[in-house]
Structure 1
């Protein structure tokens, strides 16, 4: 009697992720000719706008222990990492609907792969900014403590993945969720302390702004880049990870609970 060879589930999952990664990488970098341009141009445009605004409001004095422009660029890149984790994960299920005909592929697979690919692309873009700053020698963006900076960069990626898992389910089942999320992205950028430091807000407002885990992640990321930076009082790594792990658990539960509805959607 012949025995049917079976592969370990992890081997199957790894093969699925590899195939999806190649598919997503080609679609992300080759299909849209302007894709690479906008990934680089977006933070540059934001920075140029803030350079113009800085001359009127003297924003340098608002940040203690770090030059304003590198401080802002680090915040922008960290925020974009979280934001793209949400938005790319949001459309991952619908874009790969046909692949669910293969029982090896489940809805969570394209979400993880898309967010992972986006993390790699954003890391590459960030490295370009750091290299460009070092070459130009103008307010160079180089981490004072590379280990802390790297750990919090990865931490923000995990937060983006957790949010991506949640919104991928909600946006697939309820179309209006995607519209609402895109509308709140700009207010969230401002309220996360990306452009202006949280310290300028009244104390009572800071208590509410600190409920946002992105604020905690960005402040710790900046501490890795600027050793003398004074982070806003109240930021906590423990709070960041408690919220992130809770969001991750919610995302995994939603994918488990609505797996069959997502496949048949």
Structure 2
């Protein structure tokens, strides 16, 4: 009598199927992102580099480095830019993830949430690699970019990626079902860059204005990331890891629930 516990049929478990789907989609996205466009790598590096050079030029007029306690201006800004781009790209990559992979939904193993998860995983890896390049480049130029608390810095880098994932899950559903949402998301990208304390310190703003800006979870995440890099850095008053993670977990949960609720509509698009 054959052993009933043995898998004689060769059928794979649901987890094995899902893993195979993710791997295939990951390789497809990786090739598309890195090889389809010859300028792809250039723009991923040139965008934050251009922002940094522009802000360094502006700094000479506003003396921005004097407004930051416990960190040099250029490393402080690079850290903020890298963290912000990680969140922004996670949110933006979710917009076209469902439509770009709609043909794959003919296979029942592929769900609309899969391309969103895969795109965010790939974006996280690419952004991490680019951040490491900036750190190495800054160290070679004599700047203090090595994190003083590497564990905290890595933890908050992953935390920012989690927030980008949650936002990407939400925008992937909302942007597919209501195309106008994609336009709004793209429009708020630049204001978010300014309002999140990426290119200038928020401590110098009036208290009444700062109270409203602290509702933005990106501010909390970037400040705590910077605290991991610069030991003596004074974070913006009101920065809270608890608030950041409550918002992030709610965002991820809401995004997953939206995918469950509108799965059939997303497949039919």
Q: Would you say same fold, with TM above 0.5?
A: yes
Q: CA deviation at 1:197?
A: 1.0
Moved over 3 A (4+): 1-5
Q: Deviations over 1:34-92 (max 9, x none)?
A: 11001000111001101110000010111111001100000000000000000111111
For residue 43 of structure 1, what is the aligned residue in structure 2? 48
Q: Is structure 2 residue 235 aligned with structure 1 residue 231?
A: yes
Aligned to 2:202: 198
The answer for the alignment partner of 2:74 in structure 1 is 69
1:247 aligns with 2:251: yes
Name the CA distance, whole Å, in 2 between partners of 1:260 and 1:28.
Answer: 28
Ranges in structure 2 where 5+ consecutive residues have no aligned partner: none
Unaligned runs of 5+ in 1: none
Tell me, yes or no, if structure 1 residue 179 matches structure 2 residue 183: yes
1:98 is matched with which residue?
Answer: 103
Question: 1:79 is matched with which residue?
Answer: 84
Residues 1-265 of structure 1: pairs in structure 2 closer than 5 A: 4-137=9-142, 139-265=143-269
Normalised to the residue count of structure 2, the TM-score between the two structures is 0.96
Q: Using the TM superposition, give the Cα deviation of residue 140 of structure 1 relative to its aligned residue in structure 2, in angstroms.
A: 3.0
Aligned mates of 1:219, 1:251 — CA distance in 2:
25
Taking structure 1 as the reference length, what is the TM-score of the superposition?
0.97
Q: Shift of the alpha carbon at 1:6? A: 2.8
SS at match of 1:90: coil
- Note the aligned Cα RMSD (angstroms): 1.3
